[in-house]
Amino acid sequence: MKKKLTLISYNPLPTSRDAIEFLYKFTLVDSSLVGEPEEDFNTSTHQIKIAITGGKQAAWLYRQPDLDFLKVAYEFGKRELIQKIKDGTITDYQELIITSVNSPEICPYNSKKIKLAKGLSTEFEVEGKIMEDNSLIQIASSILSNRDFINALIKEKHKEKLFVLVEERDLLQLFRNANSEEEFVFRITAFQLLITRLNEPLLRELTSISDTKIKSISLLENYLKSYKKYDKEIIKFFRNINRLRQLYPIHGDNADGVLEAHRSLGIDYPVRNYSEAWKKVLMIYDDSLKRILEIIRVI
């Protein structure tokens, strides 16, 4: 199946951070429907914001002083959207942050060879979806992207990543549904390990906290409090998600905080729909990552 992606607008965005930002708007439709009566009905609209940090700009301009960042950002955005369409993770709006961590030392694109104009279309082939549950894969993809963005910004500021490497099997849980109590408990157990594996040595250095009784989430809380836009809901989300691991049969129904965690996260107790509860947990985690990103991206 072929798809047609068409650029309909592009604009630089004002920003207070050490970066340049651009917003690109595209339409997407099956190529077979172009010119047909149902083309408009089946056309979707997608926006992508591309941010290129000041450090990355300087590094690229040093080697390519005539670089046109509006065109370069467009090329990054177009390719990102095409990949997401192929993966089945495309959403109405997405962001991509280009930093010294997630991009090469030299700009991979020659801006003189990039065409940029409203109405410019790109046609490409798309194979079948890699997963049946599109909503689940979109949430999981967003989580991984936001973790990468946070790691890139933290490493650019402090030379190390915030989220440390996890086992591949833990990451795979993000893409799998929970259709039973057994699956739900298993997913939550792996998920708890995923969210608490933070770079504690870095956080202790940044917060000057040496007390080993203070663990990863509390260290993260103290670090985020150093920012003006600190959002207390982030740590609340992390702790409530963490408490879900205390579910029966791991620690028993009466473990402290389990019922409150269910209420706070909006999950029925006892859980009636495990698939729905699991997706809600993933959505809340993704939201907390977006909040962290919003805090740390401001100087």
Query: What are the backbone angles phi and psi of residue 125, rounded to the nearest 5°?
Result: -90, 140
Nearest of 94, 53, 59 to residue 297 by alpha carbon: 53
Residue 93 CB: number of other CB atoms within 10 A?
11
Inter-residue contact 10 to 22 (CB < 8 Å): yes
Q: Give the SS3 label for residue 14.
A: coil
Q: Where are the alpha helices (DSSP H) in the chain?
A: 54-63, 69-87, 134-158, 168-172, 181-196, 200-207, 216-224, 232-243, 258-265, 274-296
* Distance separating alpha carbons of residues 272 and 256, to the nearest angstrom: 21
Per-residue pLDDT of the chain (299 residues; tens, 9 = 90+): 899 999 999 999 998 889 999 999 999 999 999 999 999 999 999 999 999 999 999 999 999 999 999 999 999 999 999 988 987 778 899 999 998 877 888 999 999 999 999 999 999 999 755 445 677 888 988 999 999 999 999 999 999 999 987 665 667 778 888 888 878 887 887 788 788 889 999 999 999 999 999 999 999 999 999 999 999 999 998 888 877 766 544 444 555 567 788 888 888 888 889 999 999 999 999 999 999 999 998 75
